[in-house]
Amino acid sequence: MKLLANIVILALSLCLGTARATQADELPVIDVTLNDGVITPQHFEVEAGKPFKLAIKNIGSTAAEFESLRLYKEKVLAPGAESFLVFRKLSPGTYPFYDEFHMNLTSANGTITAK
């Protein structure tokens, strides 16, 4: 009986994990590229209170880092690497971000505005 209970718990855990992965894939996706100190787009808007996914790609020849101190998010990417960050929800406001490896360039700064 205990074995059957463990199997049921494992099956439910796997189903819940699959459901969460499917939900994450359905999030609105914003594509951001990092290119040797140039972030594109530098400014974008999202719906306040709604989750979204930031798909980040480093197309430059040097390492890059998407970072936002206010949002407690960072992602370091080697040249040619891709990754993502999921934001559960943002309160209305404007949130700065930057490429920490290229902070001396104004093109390495941007903002997310939640409305």
Q: Which domain holds residue 98?
A: 28-114
Q: What percent of the chain has pLDDT over 90?
A: 72
Residue 8 counted as domain residue: no
pLDDT exceeds 70 at position 5: no
Instruction: Say what the pLDDT of residue 18 is.
Output: 46
Q: What is the pTM of this model?
A: 0.74
The sheet with strand 82-87 has its strands ordered as: 38-40, 29-35, 52-58, 82-87
pLDDT for 84 equals 97
Higher pLDDT, 10 or 50: 50
Q: What digits encode the pLDDT tens for the residues 50-64?
A: 999 999 999 999 999
- Residue 74's contacts (CB-CB under 8 Å, 6 or more residues apart) are 65, 66, 67, 68, 100
Is 70 inside any structural domain?
A: yes
Please report whether residue 89 resides in a domain. Answer: yes
Residue 20 in any domain: the answer is: no
Q: What is the Cα Rg of the chain in Å?
A: 18
Burial class for 25, CB neighbours closer than 10 Å (0-12, 13-18, 19+): exposed
- Into how many domains does the chain fold? 1
Q: Is residue 77 domain-resident?
A: yes
| Under 8 Å between Cβ of 30 and 55 | yes
Residue 70's domain is classified under what CATH number?
2.60.40.420
Least confident of 16-20, 26-30, 47-51, 61-65: 16-20
Q: Which of 59, 45, 63 is closest to 99 using CA atoms?
A: 63
Predicted local distance difference test score (pLDDT) of residue 33: 97
Residue 35 lies in a domain: yes
- Residue 105 is assigned to a structural domain of this protein: yes
What local confidence, expressed as pLDDT, does residue 19 receive? 45
Judge if the upstream peptide bond of residue 41 is cis by omega within 30 degrees of 0: yes
In a domain, 12, yes or no: no
